[in-house]
Amino acid sequence: MIKALSTLFEINTPDNDDASPEHRRHLAAAALLIETARADFTQDGVEEASMMAMLQSSLGLSDNEVGELLRLANEEVDAATSLYQFTRIVNDHFTPTQKTQLVGDMWRVAYADGNVDKYEEHLIRRVADLVYVAHEDYIRAKLSAANAAD
């Protein structure tokens, strides 16, 4: 039984060696966007639409591919016990520019519903620290998202 459980967890983790590095990057980014949407304990259609649009434009995926990516990412977030499994992939596979873009995307999800909750802000700050985004880039991404939301 333990072997069956460990096999299940190995298959479903975003850092699974069977998944391509590109798939792991996409899954980690989507999971962090979902974490942002869930941080205020509500995830509405506006935030979901925002995530879909961002993933389509930044990853060049179709509606169906983004839907499947978000479904898998939701499963990963539900099973996750910390942000580490996602931030490790970001640190291992994203450039500094991509990390800053991800933080900006997280801010856009937070601003999508017109209200940035303190828990959303805390999560984004923590992720920015964990993926080594400079504070000035964090602030720049926040202001850019705030201006775009207005």
Domains and CATH numbers, the chain: 24-149 (1.10.3680.10)
Residue 15 confidence (pLDDT):
47
The whole-angstrom separation of Cα 47 and Cα 139 is 21
Residue 42 confidence (pLDDT):
79
What is the pTM assigned to this prediction?
0.85
Quick one: CA dihedral 121, 124, 130, 132, positive or negative? Answer: negative
Is the pLDDT at 59 greater than 50, yes or no? yes
Q: Which of 63, 81, 60, 61 is nearest to 13 (CA)?
A: 81
Residue 143 confidence (pLDDT):
96
For residues 30 and 51, the answer to whether their CB atoms sit within 8 Å is yes
